[in-house]
Structure 1
Amino acid sequence: MLYFAQPSTMGCRFPVTEKQPFSPDLPMIRANAVSTLAQILSSAGMRLDEQLQKSGLSDATQLNIVDFLRILESFAVEVRDESLHMSKRPLLPGTNDHVLSNLGKCRSLQDALQELAASYNFIHGGAYNRVERRDRELLYIIDDRQFPYLDDSDPIHIRFNLDCVLLYVHGVVCSLGGHGAANSLIKVQSRADNGDNSVLQAAFSHLPLKFGAPCYVLHYQLDMADQPLQWQAPLTLSSVYNQLQFHLGQGNGDNNLVTKVRHLLEQGIQSQDAVAAELGYSVATLRRKLTESHSSFRQCREQVLNQEAKTLLAQQLALEDVAQRLHFSDARSFNRAFKTWNGVTPRDYIEKLQEEQ
């Protein structure tokens, strides 16, 4: 079983040999899927419009796949549980990044997927993930029928989340195997009753989709199984999303500029000059376009830093270490910034985390 985690990405960059264009248009999520997301947030006392605002977005009817997943990612941080309050074994933010960081050591894509499955099986205490070779195909299978969900978990929400997990796993394949592996996906199966409120319809509209299946399955052409990995640097959730964005994108555009700026910041590109250059803008043009999007470079940077700070604090790092990781001059400066962003000090935030465990 897989769940979304908040990335620990400050300082992480794409490999020089695989630099990608950064402004693809992405498939839009269906209205029913957006409605399901709103229900999931509401069950945790949160509102979709507030999460959109935190992500620099404004229109839920124009939500693309990657922005959609990032809202789920942000939600996992806010509730401090990567299982999104669906599992009896809540997981601290950061678990996925820890798992992903080890995949670059594998020799082939099949080895990496097997390591991915084994890692999550160990974390969740059961054989819920597996990789199989079958009928000239390589399958990544998630069988959650015996998974220890909370008794009050909504089956529709669970299946919705697992469809998102399939998309995440495909992002891992895109990251590790490049264009060839991304295009080797030939069929997708889901336990969802139908595709009305699934993200799979938008992501894989060109592929056969089977709903009402016994398990969640990604079917890849077998010839990709033994391909050597193309990604050698430590993998993170943010880099997975960036690769997924590239491989699902179809053309270029200026949509979702705030999201693009945040992506670059998460890659470790910190200066406004460098971000503008990556996007092909002058600094003045970038400022103007961000203003038109009701945001600013400073707001984008603070949103990224705040989300990263919450993840690191949840991992019980010392305040001095968190401040250093986020490039603050000292713990006192970090303390002031965190209180400005959240209305509470880091220590108050940590105490609240401990009370809820």
Structure 2
Amino acid sequence: MAQELNQAYFELHQIEPILSWAEKSGVDIDGILARLGIDADARKGTAESRVRIVDYYRIQREIARLMDDLTAQLSERKLLYQTGPFVVTQMRSAVTLMDAIRSLASHFNMMHGGNYNNIRQNETTLTLVVDDASFPYRFRDDSALTHFIGDALLIKTQCLLESISNGTAGRALKRVVLKRDRQEAGKEHLRFWQVPISYGHSAYELVYDIDVACEPITPARDVDLTTDGLFDRVIRYLEELSPTVDTRSYTARTEDLIADGYETQQAAASQLGISIATYRRRLSEENTSFRDILQESRARRAGRMLEQGESVAQVSEKLGYSDVRAFNRAFKKLRGLSPAAFIKMNEPPVHAK
């Protein structure tokens, strides 16, 4: 699949409504794109706008993290970002692909508060049906966008199931069913699929061979099973399928690794395949250090969480500081004001009645 997957792309303008909405909510979209090595001018159509499908999930993950919303604001009903690891943890206890599919459907229905995911079974197939007709999409009036979102959800689901099942999901998959019309534009991302695609249906479906779905599964050895975040696991799995040469700066790659949860110099250097000494030298040549990049990343996340109403103590704990005083010192050093002053500065104005 790796050779074909290299051809799975999307056009950045396809998700411009998502980017614009997040930007209006305070997310630095151009900064996210820069860290991914994507030219921000692509949003305006003045630069190459074709982007690898894996980077869609990277963009979505950053929006989700910053907004503390696992749906990345695609739904009008917020779902806490921390629920992602919960879903993956529950699925990892599955002993067959069928168990994993049922677990995924059940837990997402529970968290989204609706019966959007269903299982259909007969003598030969096991089908995961995703019916989003009543899902509270924020962009429900944009059919091209919602079709792309639905397509991308199926790809994400399949990657998640494949990583959990050690590739069994790939062997079992027989057909993919989509809502979009066959003639509809903007479907380069569908080259991801190596099975027949059926278009123009009322719901999305992943159709599996039931015999393979009932086989016992064992953990994959070549996938990072410690990465429990839903987005992180999908991104890692896609990168395993289609590795590419990363030509970005070490600073940008370090920011990406920290976002993936690699928050020690040793772990980041290991992921980059270089020694710690070489890693330090490369960052020094770019006039920075791992500590500086980590502190800046934490400061950005802290600012966003404080803006969303979390207390200083909550933010300090979530970001792994030893105590509130250490967090206060680090934040003030980078932002020039204390967390309390930052909160006060970002409070909405009180209008006189």
**Which bracket does the TM-score occupy, shorter chain normalised?**
0.7 to 0.9
Structure 1, unaligned stretches of length 5 or more? Answer: 1-23
Q: 1:234 to 1:57 in 2, by over 3 A?
A: closer
SS at match of 2:217: coil
Q: Are the aligned partners of 1:163 and 1:199 in contact in 2 as well (CA < 8 Å)?
A: no
Q: 1:48 to 1:293 in 2, by over 3 A?
A: farther
The residue aligned with 2:102 is 114
Q: Are the aligned partners of 1:80 and 1:92 in contact in 2 as well (CA < 8 Å)?
A: yes
SS at match of 1:102: helix
Q: Deviations over 1:236-285 (max 9, x none)?
A: 22541244224431x55344576754564456543324422342223454
TM superposition shift of 1:143: 0.5
Distance 1:129 1:326 in 2: 34
Which residue, out of 74, 92, 97, partners 2:80? 92
Q: Which moved more, 1:40-49 or 1:289-298?
A: 289-298
1:270 aligns with 2:246: no
The residue aligned with 1:123 is 111
Distance 1:244 1:285 in 2: 27
SS at match of 1:105: coil
The residue aligned with 1:236 is 229
SS at match of 1:63: strand
Q: Which moved more, 1:59-68 or 1:120-129?
A: 59-68
Q: 1:154 to 1:83 in 2, by over 3 A?
A: farther
Q: 1:243 to 1:135 in 2, by over 3 A?
A: farther
SS at match of 2:121: strand
The residue aligned with 1:9 is none
Aligned residue type for 1:301 = L
TM superposition shift of 1:98: 2.8
Identity %: 28
SS at match of 2:132: coil
Q: Which moved more, 1:293-302 or 1:217-226?
A: 293-302
1:40 aligns with 2:18: yes
The residue aligned with 2:324 is 331
Q: 1:119 to 1:128 in 2, by over 3 A?
A: same
Q: Under a length normalisation based on structure 2, what TM-score does the superposition of the two structures give? A: 0.73
1:67 aligns with 2:55: yes
The residue aligned with 1:217 is 205
Aligned residue type for 1:110 = M
Distance 2:141 2:321 in 1: 40
SS at match of 1:92: coil
Q: Which moved more, 1:225-234 or 1:169-178?
A: 225-234
Q: 1:200 to 1:132 in 2, by over 3 A?
A: farther
Distance 1:150 1:252 in 2: 33
The residue aligned with 1:27 is 6
The residue aligned with 1:57 is 37
Q: Are the aligned partners of 1:186 and 1:219 in contact in 2 as well (CA < 8 Å)?
A: yes
TM superposition shift of 1:145: 1.2
Distance 1:158 1:329 in 2: 43
Distance 2:179 2:288 in 1: 39
Q: Are the aligned partners of 1:128 and 1:143 in contact in 2 as well (CA < 8 Å)?
A: yes
Distance 2:181 2:287 in 1: 39
Distance 1:319 1:268 in 2: 21
The residue aligned with 2:45 is none
| Aligned positions, number | 329
Q: Under a length normalisation based on structure 1, what TM-score does the superposition of the two structures give? A: 0.72
Structure 2, unaligned stretches of length 5 or more? Answer: 43-47
Q: Deviations over 1:198-222 (max 9, x none)?
A: 4632432x33233322211223333
TM superposition shift of 1:142: 0.7
Which residue, out of 273, 287, 291, partners 1:280? 273
Aligned residue type for 1:201 = L
TM superposition shift of 1:104: 2.4
Q: Are the aligned partners of 2:5 and 2:191 in contact in 1 as well (CA < 8 Å)?
A: no
The residue aligned with 2:90 is 102
Which residue, out of 187, 191, 197, partners 2:186? 197
Q: Are the aligned partners of 1:26 and 1:64 in contact in 2 as well (CA < 8 Å)?
A: no
The residue aligned with 1:248 is 241
Aligned residue type for 2:294 = R
Q: Are the aligned partners of 1:190 and 1:216 in contact in 2 as well (CA < 8 Å)?
A: yes
Aligned residue type for 2:186 = N
Distance 1:272 1:122 in 2: 38
